[in-house]
A = this chain, B = another copy of it.
Amino acid sequence: MRVSELAVETDISVATIKYYLRAGLLHEGRRTAPRQADYDAGHVSRLRLIRALLGPGGLSVAAAGKVLEQLDEPTESAHDLLGIAAHAAAALPKPSTSHPRADALLEKWGWSVDPEDHDARSRLEQALQGLEDAGFEPPEGFLEMYASAMREVAAREVEEVPQSSPAEALRYVMLGTVLVEPLLLALRRLAHQDASARIFARQASPWPNAERTPE
């Protein structure tokens, strides 16, 4: 398969494919001549993966590169995988080493988190800081509610990590971390609508635009 065919197959322009090649996201084709290479189904699925990471996954080209790099050379023990996944995906501008609120919460909840993982803790700290800066104070107990909801989700997810091979486990964890995030957020927004419809709009027709609501 040549580039132009690959481009048609994946609906990605030749120029962009070349760009991904240079960026190291996509491995080169098999050389058939000094100025000729051959691409296969592996390149097609790789390109689909790349687009999933860049689009729905919300990663930058650089971040996607790190994720793919990890996927390409599976090493490390099963336990460290999560750390790699979280670290590789979407690096914070500057993971500050100071995150008092986050530390306090983790200790309060008794969560076992690498004390040196400033990236993960910074993320939480920044989220909390954002809420505070916006003058938005979550109601009593909400932080705990969020935490326990995510803990339950995470526990189920970790249980399910395939134990068979490190490579498979790594793939599962990286993609599960990055690609499930937009899924969760989309579900939350839809659930808001659902909950709102149930609570507020008892008497009125919930969706004036549509003649009949799905029931």
Residues of A at the B interface (CB closer than 8 Å) are: 45, 48-49, 51-53, 55-57, 77-79, 81-83, 85-86, 106-107, 110-117, 120-121, 123-124, 126-131, 133-136, 138-139, 142, 145-147, 149-160, 171-172, 175-177, 179-201, 206-207, 209-210, 213-215
Tallying the copies of this chain within the complex gives: 2
CB-CB under 8 A for A195 and B155, given A124-B187, A176-B136, A189-B177 = yes
B55 touches A183 (CB 8 A): no
The dominant DSSP class at the A interface is helix
A139 touches B160 (CB 8 A): yes
Indicate which residue in B126, B176, B182, B213 contacts A112 across the interface (CB closer than 8 Å): B213
A214 touches B115 (CB 8 A): yes
